[in-house]
Amino acid sequence: MRCEQWVPAPLEDVFRFFSNPANLELVTPPWVGFKILTPLPIEMKVGAQIEYAIRVHGLPLRWRSEITEWDPPSHFTDVQLRGPYSQWTHRHSFAEQEGGTLVVDHLRYAVPLSWVPGEWIIERFVVRPELERIFKHRQSVLFREFGG
């Protein structure tokens, strides 16, 4: 899955916003019940791990991710170590474009039970639409924060 959004702000400001874990609660919709459990501030670097509490369809879960790539202000990647997906890799990329910054998210994920015939139905009709709703919410937050 790929999402992109242009924001009218300098690359360094946008990267700083995204690389601050405290802003994750701001950009995540309330229905996800997202809360960072790792004490702040968190030094972002390769190997940094962050623990969160979330809700998936009302079910409380823990999520732990690790930063596996860190290249300011170009990109960083987080990988789920524990959570609701059987695989989750999220690359956040940033590039100067037209006097602002292009934010690109590339997600590789797999839902649990991916070996079950018909698993694609869960991904297509439940997981993907939920992820799209989450990214739409994030886009509206970025619009409020940076304009555009």
pLDDT in tens, 113-138: 656 566 667 777 778 888 999 999 99
Which tokens sit at 47? 């190997």
Average pLDDT over the chain, rounded to whole?
92
Residue 121's nearest CA partner among 129, 58, 1, 84 is 129
* Residue 144 phi, psi (nearest 5): -65, -40
Grade residue 139 by pLDDT with cuts at 50, 70 and 90: very high
Angstrom distances, CA of residue 71 to CA of 10, 92, 112: 17, 10, 30
Domain 2-146, CATH among 3.40.50.300, 3.40.50.10680, 3.30.530.20, 3.40.50.970: 3.30.530.20
End-to-end CA distance of the chain: 23
| Other beta carbons less than 10 A from residue 87's beta carbon | 12
